[in-house]
Amino acid sequence: MIYLDHSRVDAFLDEKSWKRFSPRVVAAHKTLTLGSGAGSEWLGWRRILQEPNDALLEEISRTASFIRAKADVLLCIGIGGSYLGARAIIEALSPNFPISSEEQEDMSSTTPEIIFVGHHLSGAYMRELLVYLEGRSVCAVVVSKSGTTLEPAIAFRFVRQWMESRFDDTAQRIIIITDPESGALNAFADEKDYPRFVIPRDIGGRFSVLSPAGLLPIAAAGVDILSLFYGAVAMLSELAESEGNMALSYAGIRHYLLNEGYTTEVLAHFEPRLSGVASWWQQLFAESEGKNHNGIFPSIAAYSTDLHSIGQYLQDGRRDLFETFLIVKDEEVVTIPPDPGNLDGLNYLSGQSISAVNESAFLGTSRAHEEGGVPNMTLSMDVLSEENLGRCIYFFQHAVSVGGYLLGVNPFVQPGVEAYKAEMFSLLGRP
């Protein structure tokens, strides 16, 4: 389960103003659920949860099993929403360090090393990648609706040619995930006979993690996609009504604080494996709300690490920001040992778990920041699991859509992204 605690924001809310504001939040929620707002043609991310396609989920699982049996390395080629969601879930549910071949032999099935490609334009990265892949069995999943987005298209050209020169069965090893009909990747799939999956036309990139675009790489990494998907289905049902709706509380508080001059939100976590989830959240909120010179700037922080860098600013800097903590309650118990010399003075912690210390760091931070004038909320997961991550995905997708409507913008388009592309292609001399 996931829970939202906004008690450390309540002191910053004027009760009368909040009561006057609340009907607007409910109205934005109805606009979303009735499909009557701007961008309603992009609500496929809700439709796929309302009408689950178990046959598709099974097909994705079968293809993932093929990849796991075939590949030492899976290259996931994509940028933005075409890779951030998959990376978020895979990193959250994978070990912090690689599993040895001996350990993998003891598991029911092996999983390939997952490498993300095509999300930047570093020549050094590409050169080193191709050297690293030598001697390995490689599969690739290419995710792009158009097939011509520059960064992944360049990466795919390199990877495709490298694979064709080394494998006789490259046509089985490259899986395309793209638009139902149009786009360059469909042309490749037709010519090369690549297997393909479809991203529904009514699902935009940053909302696509629970479509084949995210689910195939996630399944190839050994994650239970049924639990992930149906966790989101459960959250969709729980957030159907406005009464007691956590996503509306989150969206409403964010917009209220923006109107009070809090223009930056920091999503902070205390678990390294949640870094990818934070990056996915950042793209989701930045591209959905940042329009018409308005919106909250979404920033991310990894605590307690960043408390030793930007912590000073958070505590004593400009009071134009607020925080949302993303917390996992149930963590592995690793007990701090005693030390006879106690030279570090830490024997008072002997017998306590690192998780308990981390919990104190979180509570101390949230209290100190509230007292320092930083409103903060906490979204907690009782355990880091597929189901809870599915719930978390839908929670944020619902909240950001409501937030966009509160701002008066279309949450499902990203016209600003096209501006840099136009200037870049002009400089490159694209015909």
Domain count within the chain:
2
User: Which of 190, 223, 256 is the endpoint of a domain?
Assistant: 223
Tell me which residue range forms the domain holding 267.
Answer: 2-37+229-407
Place 429 in a pLDDT band, splitting at 50, 70 and 90.
Answer: confident
Same domain as 318, residue 271: yes
Give the residue-averaged pLDDT of 8-12.
95
The answer on pLDDT for 370 being more than 90 is yes
User: Which of 201, 223, 245 is the endpoint of a domain?
Assistant: 223
Active-site positions read 287, 308, 421
> What pTM was estimated for this model as a whole?
0.94
Contact (CB, 8 A) for 378 and 366: yes
Q: Is residue 415 part of a domain?
A: no
The answer on pLDDT for 176 being more than 80 is yes
**Extended strands (E) in 108-212:** 113-117, 138-143, 174-178, 196-198
Contact (CB, 8 A) for 111 and 252: no
- CATH classification of the domain holding 77: 3.40.50.10490
The answer on pLDDT for 385 being more than 50 is yes
Same domain as 59, residue 27: no
Measure the CA dihedral 194/200/203/205, to 10°: 10
Contact (CB, 8 A) for 264 and 321: yes
pLDDT for the residue numbered 420: 77
- Among 415, 382, 377, 402, CA closest to 265: 377
Measure the CA dihedral 168/113/81/423, to 10°: -70
User: Which of 223, 248, 283 is the endpoint of a domain?
Assistant: 223
Same domain as 243, residue 367: yes
pLDDT for the residue numbered 108: 47
